[in-house]
Chain A
Amino acid sequence: MRPRLARPSSGGAFEKGGTLEACSQSPLKQEPCRTGPTGKEPVHEPGSPAICARGLTLHYDKRTALEDVSFDVPAGAHVAVVGPNGAGKSTLLKAVAGLLPWTQGTLRVYGHEPRDHLCIAYVPQRAAVDWRFPVTVLDVVLMGRVHRRGPLRRMTRRDRALAEAAVQWVGLGPQAGRQIAELSGGEQQKMFLARALSQEAELVLLDEPLAGIDASSEVEILDLLDRLSGTTLLVALHDLGIAAKHFSLALLVRGRLLGFGAPEDVFTPENLQSAYGECLKMVRTADGTLVVQDTPCSRGAR
C-alpha cells in the first residue's frame, strides 16, 4: 500500500467571488530555504500557504493566458493542474516558479515573491531539453546544487551525497553514470525528479511529467510522487483519471479558474463542460474510481 498524503483540512480554498483574504507577506526579502543549523529547517513563516494567488492575471505571447485566478495551496498538498491545451497550465506553473511576471493580482510562495525563492524546483516538458548534451545523470542532478556553492567553490561531500541519494531514491542508481540520451522517457523524467530533490525544493512544479512515457514508467513516476509527502507538488496533467486517483487537490483551468479543491468536487459535469465542452465526461465505476471518457470531439476541442 503506497503512503498517501492526507487531504489537508484547510486546503482547497477557492471562491469564485474572490472573497479570500489577501496573501500574507513575510518581511523576509530573500528566502534561503532550509538553511538552519542542520540545513534542514524550513524557515518560512508558520501557517503561510505554499502558494497564495489573488486575482492573478497572466499574459503570454500578448494574449491573456489566465485571468483573475485566486486560490490557496496548503503546504504539503499534491495538486494536479488540469485543463485542455492552451488553458494556461504551463503559464501558471512558470509564474509560480518565478519565471514569468504577472500583469495583475498577487502571487506568493510561502509568503514571498516567487522570484525570491531558492526552494522551488521547476521540471520542464522533456521536449525543452537538448538530450544530446554530453552530461551524465549524476551531472544533471548535481546541477541542482550549483546555486548553493557559487562560482569558484567546489561541490562539497554533502552536495554529492545529496545528489547520489536522490538518484538512488528515484531508482536510477545503476544509470547514474550514463549519458542522458541513453535514458528512456520515464528515466529522463525520474532524473529531473532527482534533480528537484537535490535542490532540496519544498515546492516542485512538474509540467506534463507523464507526456510520452510508457505505462509502467507512468506508474513508477506516480508512485514516486505519492511518496513525496511533505513536499508541495503542482503537476500539470492531461489525464483527469490520474488527477482524480493520485492527487489530493485538483485545479481546473481554461483561461480562468473553473474549480479548485478535491478532485471529485472539481470534476463536476458543469466544470468539465466549461473546460472541455461536451467532449469529456467522468464516470464513477462500482469501486468508486473516477474514469474519464474522452469522446472524439475532444481532440478537436483541445
Chain B
Amino acid sequence: MTSPESADVPFLLRPAQPADLPVLERFAAASAYGITTLPPDSAVLVERLQRSAGAFTTEDAASGEEIYLFVVEDVASGAVVGTSGIAASAGFADRFYCYRNEYVVHASPPLGASNRTHTLHLCHDLTGVTLLTSFYVEPAYERTLAPQLLSRGRLLFIAQFAERFSDRIGAESPGLADDSGRCPFWDAVGRRYFDMDYPSVERLAVGRSRSFIADLMPPSPIYVPLLPEEAQWSIGQLHPVGELPFSILLDEGMDPDTYVDIFDGGPTAHARVAQLKTVAASREIVVAGIAESASHRARGWQLAASARRADFRAVLLPGHARGRSLELGAQAARLLGVQVGDTLRLAPAPVATQATAGDRHD
C-alpha cells in the first residue's frame, strides 16, 4: 500500500547520472530492438551519460551537439523505472536524412488518365531540429503515469531552455521488423543499394554516422508502387514496441505522416515546438507557499518542472493550478527542490483517466 503522500507525487523526472549506468544497461538490453540511441553497449552508454551530464551543467552557450538523458524514479521505491532523452540538434555537424512522403500527379488527357503516385524523397529537411530520443519504460510501468512524465516532462525542459534547442522538433520511431530483424522496408529499398540485411546495417550505423550510410543512397525518389506490397504497407508503420511513446507524441500534436526513416520506414514525427500541446499550455508560476500535507485530491494532473537546468526536476501533481502562483505540498517541494518564491514551469497533463498512480501495483 502506498502512503497518501507518495500517491500525490508518484514519479520524479531528473537528469540521468553516472550512477544510473547499471539500470540503463538493463533498459538497453531489454530494448535491444529499435532504439539506436540506447544501444546495449556499456562504453557507448558511459559516454552518453558523460555527455548528458555535461550538457545539463555546462555554463557554455549551446552548440547543438548536446544530448540530455533523463530518468524517471518511482517515488515510493526510489527505483529508476524508465528513461528518455533529447538530442539538441539532429545530425549535428552532419546531415540528418529521412524520406519525405510526396505525391506526384501525372495526367495524360489523350488517354483520359491521371494518376497520383506516392513517392519517397531522400531529404535533409529535419537536419538541425531537436530530437526526442531514447524512450524506454519498464513494462510494469507502461500503464502508469511514468511514461507521461518521461515524455512530456522533457518538453517542459525544452520550453524552459528554448535557447538551447531548435524551434522544431522531431522523433524517430521504430518501423516494422520481425524478431530476426527482417525488415520489409529495408529489404525492398536499402538492400538494393547495400546487399546486406537490416541487422548488419544497424550494426554499421551504430559504429559510424547514419549519414555516412545514407550518403550512399541514390538521390532519386522511390516510386512506392514499384515496391512489394508488404514493403508499401510498412511505410510509416510503427513497430509495436514504439506505440506508447508514439501515442503520447501524437497527442502532443506532432505530425506523423510527412517523414519516414530511411532504413526501416518507421514514422519520424515532427512539429513546431511552440505548437506542442504541453509547450503551448505551459507557463511559469511562483511557489507561493509550501503546505505540510498535500492539499485535497483534485481531478486531473499537471506537470510541474523546476526552472533550473543543472538539477532539473519534473513531477506530476494532482489538480490544475490557476493564477500566477501555487501552493505546493511539502513532498512535491522537496522532490522539485524548490522553496517559496522559486519559479516553476507548469502545464496541464492531458493523461488518460485509466493511467493512474496506483496501476503499477496491479
User: Do A and B belong to a common assembly?
Assistant: no
Interface residue ranges, B against A (CB under 8 Å): none
Interface residue ranges, A against B (CB under 8 Å): none
